[in-house]
Chains A and B, each alone.
Chain A
């Protein structure tokens, strides 16, 4: 399972995400990279309209 029930001593959002070796990494990469697609599309649109 990607996200396991809380096993940490002090419950926290990051503890919940960090139950597996890759869950935190995958989550952070996802939330950082997805908006970059949006930035890319906006810039593409802007460049196309400029020309």
Chain B
């Protein structure tokens, strides 16, 4: 009786139970992953920054610090490195509330001016204009870089803010940025938003950022 020839593969209940198991497991897994993601993307605090606790998304007061981007051999990708205090528009003592408000203004401005219509932010948006995920770290905006040079400013944040307020005055690409009527306050918020964004650990996205930096330093360009 037990060795009778039966075809399990043509048995409807077998497939029904298998499908129910796979679907049920996938649903449970996705719910678990959703909660796991919440932990990964939750923003750190000022205390985390002061105590050296690494978070994927650092607290808003990260704008008080110098941000670098270094290849991590263990991770196999580039990771943001939060360094010493660095002045941001002449200050390095923004409170959590002030920094948070600045970032919030920057986020709202980036949405109302529809930056993503041309740029990419954290993987979302368009590739018509440069990716802004790590734009704060772009050497073109640093001391001696051509973008900072053209604005006549001496810091990254002032140069970026000046450009954002009068983008059509400055030669950048063949595809020039239009004047969006960004005010001085909005520009400050946007730069804070971009500085914070550059400190987010994105698992190395965008890929090869440092390689493009090396190309740039060697005199080449990826802008077409």
Residue of B with least CB distance to A7: B74
Residue of B with least CB distance to A51: B4
B21 touches A35 (CB 8 A): yes
User: On chain A, which size bracket covers the interface?
Assistant: 20 to 34
Tell me if B1 counts as interface (CB < 8 A to partner A). yes
User: On chain B, which size bracket covers the interface?
Assistant: 20 to 34
B39 touches A10 (CB 8 A): yes
Query: Given the known A-B contacts A39-B14, A40-B14, are A32 and B22 also in contact in the complex, defined by CB atoms under 8 Å?
Result: yes
A14 touches B6 (CB 8 A): no
Secondary structure of the A contact surface, majority rule: helix
B13 touches A43 (CB 8 A): yes
Residue from the set A10, A32, A40, A45 with the largest chain B CB neighbour count within 10 Å: A10
- Residues of chain A within 8 A of B75, CB atoms compared: 7-8
- Residues of chain B within 8 A of A45, CB atoms compared: 2
A48 touches B2 (CB 8 A): yes
Chain A, range 1-51, C-beta contacts under 8 Å to B:
7-10, 12-14, 28, 31-32, 35-36, 39-40, 43-49, 51
A14 touches B21 (CB 8 A): no
Distance A46 CA – B29 CA, assembled complex (angstroms): 30
- Residues of chain B within 8 A of A48, CB atoms compared: 1-4, 6
- Residues of chain A within 8 A of B6, CB atoms compared: 44, 47-48, 51
B39 touches A12 (CB 8 A): yes
- Residues of chain A within 8 A of B13, CB atoms compared: 43, 46
- Residues of chain A within 8 A of B8, CB atoms compared: 40, 43-44, 47
- Residues of chain A within 8 A of B22, CB atoms compared: 32, 36
A9 touches B56 (CB 8 A): yes
The contact string, 1 if C-beta is below 8 Å from chain A, for chain B 22-42, is 100100010001001001100
- What are 30 sample pairs from A and B whose C-beta atoms fall under 8 A apart? A7-B75, A8-B75, A9-B54, A9-B55, A9-B79, A9-B201, A10-B39, A10-B55, A10-B56, A12-B36, A12-B39, A14-B33, A14-B36, A28-B29, A32-B21, A32-B22, A32-B25, A35-B21, A36-B18, A39-B14, A40-B14, A43-B11, A43-B13, A43-B14, A44-B6, A46-B13, A47-B7, A48-B1, A48-B4, A48-B6
On A, residues with C-beta under 8 Å from B are: 7-10, 12-14, 28, 31-32, 35-36, 39-40, 43-49, 51
Closest 3 interchain pairs by CB? A47-B6, A43-B14, A7-B74
